[in-house]
Each structure stands twice: as structure tokens, then as C-alpha cells.
Amino acid sequence: MGDKVIFLADIQSFYASVEKVRNSEYKDKPLVVAGDPERRSGIILAACPLAKKYGIKTAETLWEAQNKCPDLVVVRPHMQTYINVSLAISKIMEQFTDLVEPFSIDEQFMDVTGSQKLFGNEFEIAKKVQQKIMNDTGVYARVGIGKNKILAKMACDNFAKKNETGIFKLNETNMEQLWKLPIGKMFGVGQKMEKHLQGMGIFTIGQLAKFPVGLLKKRWGINGEVLWQTANGIDYSPVTVKTHNQQKAIGHHMTLPRDYTNLDEIKIVLLELCTEVARRCRKKGYMGVTVSCGVRGASFDFPTGFHRQTTLPVASNYDLDIFNAAYQLLKQFWDKQPIRSLGVSLSNLQPSDNYQIDLFENYLRKEKLNSVFDAIWDKYGRTAIYRASSLTKAGQASERARKIGGHYK
């Protein structure tokens, strides 16, 4: 049996490319999608290739980008549109194989091992996938090819994106090209890990591939072995459509529009977040027992905040159960410094149709309340009903309902 054929298809400058398809006037102009175009301190979420030629990078401020390119076109994000295009791309890929695994909103794995008799060899399939995505959505995909997901990912990130055809295969015959690259170019190596590895005299991916794996395991445990395997192109994880079926946690986090200093105001947003976490748990059919709460201070120069967790007596997906636990954590660990972001999550999840009943709690009443809330929200939207506290100046429920992932739909 031969090697598997795995693709990682990545859409070039995804958000920016979609915006150029939406508005043809922007086709030949340098364009960025920014988190908050009304404020020059907004962050660049995506930059088209023309904008990148001016040295503009993702995650820098809009102010920095506009200094580099005064004629820059700035567009606010349309998250629902990007999600719709991503789902459309998934459907296109499923015309070539039933093994499609989303990796992010703009990256998806495909196992086309069994598709070659129908669609041709790996390069022919990659070209057809590219053309089909371009014809149907107007955006350009680059395709990395490998015998496993890690090789496909590194082929795409390091070579396909720079290749004229947008297609590159990484295997034993050309691994030397990968090994010559700086260690920071390897998948799974962030800035901190890059410095740690450089401190050990490892400056290229090849040096890591040849480094004694025992020493890496001694320092980082199983993560050390994973780093070594990645450098050597070893990956045993299959492309699976079930990757996102079982969640480990469900959470919600938001950056606040201003500094919150008053416990009563923070309490209102905390309750809103807990209500959203509970709703999403029920939607996915889960209950959980571990409640986590975290806040971040307003100052980047002198960071403050906390992240702590506690355990519920029994599993729940009722908002007030989650809130009461999170509120106790907030009261215990908040240092009274102004906060700018707040998050809540529920973990140690289990199916909601099989749970332990607390004899001292009225679960039937909670379930009836949940059912009524969910029915109203499903029919009329998230702003159809919420607590009166959300109508105060501290409340964010109405504003959050207009956003996806912190950005407007």
C-alpha cells in the first residue's frame, strides 16, 4: 500500500480576498480588513498581496499600516460572509473526497488518497480544487501536499504560498529544503519556543530533526517528542470529519468597550457571558462540571488579572449555576484593578441526556426555563429576550448579538 495523499488548502489573504470579490472596485487597490476602522488603533486582520508589498502585516495597528500606505482601502470585517464562503469551500472540497477536515476558517485538510482513480494524480487534483474554488467563490487557494497532515501544512506555509503555481509537495526527496529554514518557520514553534530552542543551539528545522529526541523529551516531555517528530515530518493523525464533534470546553470571552471598575457592572457582563455559555452548551447537547473565569487588566504595560476554575456539585447547563460559581471566583481573585476583558467557560463536558440529579435542586423548573428561553431565541433571535440588567449602560448583550468572534457580522 502506498503513502497517503493529504492536502492542506489555504486561501490567500482570506478576509481581504473575499472583500475584493464583494466589491470589484477594490480589485487593483491595496486593501486591508481592520477590526475597528473608526479607530486608528484598530488591528489589521488581513492584508491583500498589494498591501503586503508596502510592508503591511497582519496584527499591526491601522495607524502603522496607513503610515506605510496613505491610499490604503480599509474595510471593516463581515464575519458572517467569511463563514459562508468557508462553508462553500468545504462543499467544493467534498466533491473530491468525503474526508475534509477544517483546520481554521481559511485552511482545510483533504485526504485524496482514494480519489486519484476518479480525478487524476495529486497535482491534477490540486489544480482542479484550485480552479473550482476560484470559479465558484473568486478566491485563490494554495495547496500543500504531503503523506500526512504535518507535511501538507508545512508544504503549504513555507513553499506553496511562494510557488508560482500555488502547489507544492513535501516528501523525503526534498526535505532538505524544509530543514534549511529557520526554526521559527516550523509549525508549532512560537516566539517563546523559538528562543528556547535557539538557547539550545537549534537554529534551523534540520538541526532540530537531528537533535537527540531523548534530550527534548527530558526537557519538555511528550511535547519535546512532538517537536522532533514535526521536524522529521512524522504525523500519525488521520484526516477526520469528526475532529470538532467532541468539544473539551465551551466558553465565551469579550473585550469590553471601556475599562470596567465597578463590581456591579462587571457582574452584569459576567451574567451575560454565563447565559451565552449555557445556551451554547444546551444547543450542542452538553452539560459541564468545571467553571472557569478569567479577567485581564486594562494596562498592557503592567498586566493584571487572573484565570481560575472551580467545580460544580453536579453537571449543569443552567446559566445561574454557571454564574454563581464564576461570580465567587471573581469576588475571590479580582484585584480591584480596572479590567478590559472577561471570559467564562464550562469544561469536563458530558452529554446532557445522561446526568446525575441533585435531590435538593428543582431540575424540572430549570429545564422548563431553559426550554422556553431556547425556543424564543431560536425563533426570534438572541435579542428577543434578556435580563433587564442588560439594558443598563454596563450591559453588552445587544451589542454582542450583532457580532461574530468579536467582529460585526
Any known ligand binding at 111?
A: no
All three cell numbers of 328: 465567587
Contact 296, 303 (CB under 8 A): yes
Burial class (CB in 10 A: 0-12, 13-18, 19+), 128: middle
268 contacts 254 by C-beta, under 8 angstroms:
no
In order of 51, 290, 305, the CA distances from 28 in angstroms are 10, 51, 45
10 is in an annotated binding site: yes
Q: Name the catalytic one among 19, 38, 94, 107.
A: 107
Distant-in-sequence, close-in-space partners of 151: CB < 8 Å, separation ≥ 6? 6, 144, 170, 171, 233, 235
Backbone angles phi, psi at 343, to 5 degrees: -145, 150
C-alpha pair distances (Å), 288 with each of 65, 96, 101, 276, 329:
43, 38, 26, 14, 17
* Residue in the block written with cell 512560537: 190
Question: Cα(142)–Cα(130) distance, rounded to whole angstroms?
Answer: 7
38 in catalytic set = no
Active-site annotation, residues:
107
Annotated binding site for Mg(2+): 10, 106
Q: Which residues are annotated as a binding site?
A: 10, 106
